Each structure stands twice: as C-alpha cells, then as structure tokens.
Structure 1
Amino acid sequence: MEQLSAGKKLDEAFEKLGKEKSISFEFGLDTDARTLKELDSSTDPEPGDELPEEVADLLSGAKIKVTVQSRKPLDESGEKDYVGMALKVGTEDGDLVEYRVIGDYTYIRSDIDALGEVIGAPVPSAQDLPPEAGGLKDALAGKWVKIDMKEMERTAAEMGAEPGAKPSPEPTLDARTQRQLLDALRETIAREVDFRSAGEKDGSEHITATAPFRTLVTEFFDEIRPLAKKLPPGAEMPTAKDFADAPNTKVTADFTLKNGELSEVYVDLAELAENAKVKKLGLVVRMSEGQAPTAPAGATELDMDEILGGFGAAMMGAEGVGEEGPLEEDFTEDAA
C-alpha cells in the first residue's frame, strides 16, 4: 500500500508539471572538486589528460538553469510549439554563458575571460578582430549578440548543397512520440522502482525511489526501442550490451513535494562511483514556475559573413598566428 500511495503521489506531481506551459529547471552537483578529481584518477587517465583543477572547481560549483515556454501544456507540446527557451551556466563568481531562443533569433552572451581560465587556453580578444567586426567585438566583450537562425540555416545549406537546392527541414520530435517516450519511462519506473514515503520536513513531503541502475536503464531502452524509427537521425539506440559494464548497485532519488507539486529531486550517485573514497556525490534538480524568456534589449546582430570571417581571424590571433607570424610570447612553455 505504501508503494502504491507514494508512487501515485509522485505520478500526480509529474502530471501537474505536464500541465504547465512554462517551467524552469536548475541542475547542479552536490560534491566538491576533490571528489571529482578522485573520480577522475580512478579511471587511470593518460598523463596530461587528468581533469584540470579549474574544471573540477567549475563542475562542483556550477549551476545550469533551463527555462522553456510553450503555446500548449508541456505534455501536449511538440517541438514547434515551443516559443521561448533560455539556458544559463553560472557559478558563485558570476555567469559564464547565457543564451535565449526567442522566435527566429538566438541571443548569446558569455564571459570569455572566465571561460578561458576554465579551459586553460588563450581565448580570442576583441583586438584580434578587424574593425568591421563590430558584433563579434561585442560578443568578446561580454555583451548580448543575436543570430538569425533562419539565415544561418540557409547559409549552411548553401555551403553544403548543390546550387538551387532547398534546405531540408529540421528533424522534429512530435508531441505523440514525446508522450510515448514518457509513457515508456513511467511503465519502467512502475515496474522496477521501489517507492517509499520519507515523511515530512520543513512543510514538504519527501518520497524516495530506489532502483538498480543497470536494470533500470536497460529496461527503459527496451521499452522505447519500438520508437527508434520516430527519433531524429543520429539518435542511436543503445543495446543491453552497451550497459553490460554499468554498475547495478541501487540508486536512490529523493523527491520533494510542496502542496503536491514537485519542487526538487536529489539523486544520490555515490554508489555508482564504486569508489570507497567518494562519500558525497549527488545530482540536484530544482523546479520552479518559469518566467517567459524575453529578448535582451540592445543586442547586436551578427551576420554570417561576420561570423565566418571575423571569428576565424580572432581564433588565429588567439593561437598566436597572424600576418607577421607567431607572436613573440610562447604559450607552450607557460602551459608546461
């Protein structure tokens, strides 16, 4: 009875999410840089391929927030129904990358210097660009820029197609197929997952769901295999053999419900690490009512000629190669 009651409450919470037309998700890891370095070392990386300290710090503290908005309830929406989307990657020190999709335009801004520190490599500078590359200069300065996606699609099609050829339509996942995927996931969860009520805390109800990892993912892909032909090209379906080496230890997720609505999911991944030194490794997902993404004011539009020409010049400058040959500063010795 407890299994049925807890599972029903969780199913109803997900149904409420599906009735929303806009929603936000925030993803983050509950761990530290030392743990991520330990996980990396347990895979025996080749010398020089170890996880950099800067990347471990970023991953342990990064938060990824995604917002989607549709004309219809989310559980009835196909790809063409979505009218706005926003994604932001940030840390305690500030935002690294943010982009928004509004209509036919994609808006982007980023902290180029911070990204350069994370990847441990020189990044393009606005000084490396020709004077006419005003939009890319703004992009490298951390300002909002926008790209006409229709124009980008046309240019990409023209570059790779015969003269006069029409661009092929982008593959989409229709609403019916999305519902079938969701139904397959629900059936797998109902069959393989053990639900338990974990009581109330701070005015919220907690429900735990526990399942063996390899069994769960294998059964799920077996359920959706008949839908493989409906998926976009390139979405290859893994087989049971692909999961043979995956750990089958039990993974537990804690779901937080406020007034019957799902507000947070915490998945404990420590057992999957199969490493005694890994004590704390979790994935946290927080849900909230989505604010409709808006187009940033004053964004500079980039045209394709500017992107193709200016960005190439910037990258050559960042690599220390220009008309006069390599720059005097040798980055190779510094990196060593």
Structure 2
Amino acid sequence: MEQLSAGKKLDQAFEKLGKEKSISFELDLDVDAKTLKLLDAEADPEPGEAIPDDAAKLISGAKISFTVESKKPIDESGENDFVGMAMKVSTPDGDLVEYRVVGDYTYVRSDIATLAKAMDAPLPPADELPEEAKGLKKALEGEWVKFNTKELEKTGREMAQEPGAKPGAKPSPEPSLDAKTQKKLTDALRKVIAREVDFKTAGGEDGTEHITATAPFRSLVTELIGEIRPLTKDLPPGVELPSDKDLKEVPNVTTTADFTLKNGELTEVYVDLAKLTENAKVTKFGLSLKMSGGTKPVAPAGATELDLEELMGGFFGAMMPDEGLGEGDFSTEGLEDGSAEGAA
C-alpha cells in the first residue's frame, strides 16, 4: 500500500508542475573540486587535457537556474506559447553567465574573465578593441548586451544549412517525437519504475514529505531499454540504443533518489551518484534539482545592442587560435579596423 501511495503522490506532484504557467528550476552538482579531479584522473586524460584546478573549483561551486513562462500550462505549451525565458549560471563568487529572452530580444551578460581563466584561454583585453566594436567591449566587460532573437534564429538556420545547399534554403527539420510515441515512452518508463523501484515515505514538519526511491541501477536501465527497443522504428533517425554488451558495463549498484514534497507539490529531487562512480574514495557526489513558482523574466536596463555579424566575425574570430600560436592564445589582428578577416 505504501508503494502504491508513494508512486501515486509523485505522479500527482509531476502533474501539478505541468499545470503551472511559470516554473523555476535550480540545478546543483553536490561535489567538491577534489572529487572532480579524482574522477578526471581516473578517466586517464591525455597529457595536457586534465581538468584545470580553476575549472574544477568553478564546476563544483556552480549552480544553474532556469525560468520559463508560458501563456498556457507548461504541459500544453508549444514553441509559440512561451513568452519569457531566463537562465543563469552562478557561483559563490558571483554570476558567470546569464541570458534572458523577453519580447523580441535576447539579453546576455557573462564574467568572461573568470571563464577564460578557468579554461586557461585568455581573451583580448576590451581596451584593445576598436571604437566601432562597442558591443564587444561591453560583452568583454561583463555588461548586458542584446540582439534580436529572430535575427539570431535566422543566423542559426544559415549556419545549420547542409553543405552545398542554395542560399536561403531551409535546413532539414530537427528530428522530433510525435505525441503518440512520447506517450508510449512515458508508459514504458512508468512500467519499469513500478517493477524496479522501491518507494518509502517519511513525513516532516509543515506539510513536508520525503519519498525515497531506491533501485538497482543496471536492472533499471536494462529493463527500460528492453521496453524501448520495440519502439525503435518510431524514434528519430540516428538514435541508437545501447547493446546488451554495453548494458553489462553499466555499474551494478543500487542508487537512490530523494523527492521532497511540500503540501503535495514537488520542491526538490536529490539523486545520489556516488556509487555510480564505482570509486570507494568518492563519498559525496549528488545532483540536486529544486523547483519553485517562476518569476517573470524582465528585460535588463541599459543593454547595448550587438550586431550579430560583429559577434560571429569579430568576437568568435578573435577566439580562434592562429597558426603557430599555442592553444589558448588569441589574436586581435584585424580588429583595429573592425574587420573580421584578420581575426579569423
């Protein structure tokens, strides 16, 4: 009875989320820099490709928050129903990257200096850019910049054109799942969870309840793939399911997810990943996802409009290593006159 009750409560909590018109998520990797370095070393990276200390520290302390707002309930929304979106990557020392989509514009700002240091890839100083590149200067200085969202989508479509395609030709549509196949996959997932996952509930204070889901990870994945295999013909082209041999390599351990409900609403999911690393030295490694009612994304004041040609040619061109330079060294040649040719 407890098993059925806990599963039903989770179903109802997810259904409530789908009926919201605005939702916020916060994703947090619960791991320290030392553990990330340990796991990286265990993967035996090529010389010079080990994760830098600054990058490990940055990743271990980073949180990703995401907000989406729609005119309709989320589970009924199509692409044209979303009216606002925001994403931010932050650390205890400050925000790293943030973007907002409001109205006709996309707004972006980032701490490029910190990111470049973590990647060991220094960028050209903002004061070395020409006066015409004021948008790039603002971006390098961590200020808000903006660009027209439709123009960005157009540029993305042009970049996605297949080689040899005529100018203006529409790229091939992205592979997608139809509603019927999505329902089959959801039903398959529910069947496997009902068979393989053990649920336990524990009450808390002020309407808080914890539901713990425990499952043998290899059996869970194997059973799920087994349910999906008959649907392979309905999946988008290029989707390949793991073979039986691949599945035998999946860690044969028990993993746990903890769901926190507040008055019947799902507020947090925590998945313990430590055992999946199969490393006895890893004692704390988890993934936390917190949910709450969304806040309306608003356009930041004072954003500088950025020309997309300037961005694609000058900025990213400047980030491409020239011949004879070491990786991570960037050239500013050609930026003095605002051209992109000398920077590519």
TM-score (norm 1): 0.85
* Cα offset, 1:151, TM superposition: 1.8
8 Å contact from structure 1 (residues 126, 314) kept in 2: no
Measured in 2, the distance between the counterparts of 1:107 and 1:175 equals 32
Give the aligned residue type for 1:272.
L
Contact 2:70 2:81 survives alignment (8 Å): yes
Deviation at 1:177, TM superposition (A): 5.6
Matched, 1:319 2:322: no
Q: CA deviation at 1:130?
A: 2.6
Query: In the alignment, is the contact (CA less than 8 A) between 2:124 and 2:331 conserved in 1?
Result: no
Does structure 2 retain, via aligned residues, the 8 Å contact 1:129–1:313? no
Amino acid aligned to 2:39 = L
Q: Does 1:100 align with 2:104?
A: no
1-structure distance, mates of 2:137, 2:223: 50
Q: Residue 268 of structure 2 corresponds to which residue in structure 1?
A: 264
Which residue type is aligned with residue 319 of structure 1?
A: D
Structure 2 residue 308 is the aligned partner of structure 1 residue 304: yes
Change (3 A) 1:85 1:237: farther
2:19 corresponds in structure 1 to: 19
Q: Which amino acid aligns with 1:125?
A: P
- Verify: 1:192 aligned to 2:202, yes or no: no
Cα displacement (A) at 1:246: 1.5
How far did residue 307 of structure 1 move?
1.5
* Residue of 235, 239, 242 corresponding to 1:239: 242
CA shift for structure 1 position 202 = 6.6
Whole-angstrom CA distance in 1 between matches of 2:56 and 2:297:
30
Give, in angstroms, the shift of residue 49 of structure 1: 2.3
* Structure 1 residue matching 2:250: 3-state secondary structure: coil
Classify the secondary structure of the residue corresponding to 1:45: coil
Classify the secondary structure of the residue corresponding to 2:290. strand
Partner of 1:280: 284
8 Å Cα contact 1:269-1:283 kept in structure 2 = yes
C-alpha deviation, 1:320, in angstroms: 4.7
Distance apart, 1:257 and its partner CA: 0.9
Aligned length: 323
Question: Quick check: 2:121–2:329 contact (8 Å CA) kept in 1?
Answer: no
TM-score for the superposition, normalised by structure 2 = 0.83
Structure 1 residues 129-166: Cα deviation after superposition (integer angstroms, max 9, x where no partner): 33211211111111111222322343455564414535
Deviations along 1:188-247, one digit per CA (max 9) or x if unpaired, are: 32232111113325752111001122332343344455666666666x243244433121
Q: Mind listing any 5+ residue stretches in structure 2 that lack a counterpart?
A: 322-327, 335-344
Query: For 1:34-64, what per-residue CA distance to the aligned partner results, in whole angstroms no more than 9, with x for missing partners?
Result: 1222222222223322222112111211111
2:169 maps to which residue? 165
CA distance in 1, matches of 2:256, 2:157: 46
Task: Tell me which residue corresponds to 1:205.
Answer: 209
Distance 1:298 1:229 in 2: 51
Distance 1:12 1:59 in 2: 33
1-side partners of 2:242 and 2:137: how far apart? 46
Who is 1:74 aligned against?
Answer: 74
Q: Does 1:56 align with 2:56?
A: yes
- Contact kept, 8 Å, 1:78 with 1:173, in 2: the verdict is no
Report the identity percentage.
66
Worse-matched range after superposition: 315-324 or 48-57:
315-324
Alignment partner of 1:208: what SS? strand
Counterpart Cα distance in 2 of 1:295 and 1:3: 46
Specify the code of the residue in structure 2 equivalent to 1:321: S
The one-letter code sitting in structure 2 at the alignment partner of 1:110 is S
Residues 66-125 of structure 1 deviation map (CA, whole Å, 9 limit, x = unaligned): 111122212222333322221110100000001122344321110011111211221233
User: In structure 1, how many angstroms separate the alpha carbons of the residues matched to 2:184 and 2:299?
Assistant: 33
Distance, in Å, in 1 between the alignment partners of 2:229 and 2:248 is 17
**Using CA pairs below 8 Å that are at least 6 residues apart, which structure has the higher relative contact order?**
1
3-state DSSP of counterpart to 1:132: helix
Distance 1:218 1:81, change over 3 A: farther
Determine the structure 2 residue equivalent to 1:253. 257
Given candidates 279, 286, 293, the residue that maps to 1:289 is 293
- Please show how residues 224-235 of structure 1 align to structure 2 within 5 Å: 224=228
Amino acid at match of 1:266: Y
Is the deviation greater in 54-63 or in 147-156? 147-156
- Is 2:318–2:332's contact at 8 Å kept on the other side of the alignment? no
Contact 1:130-1:310 at 8 Å conserved across structures: no
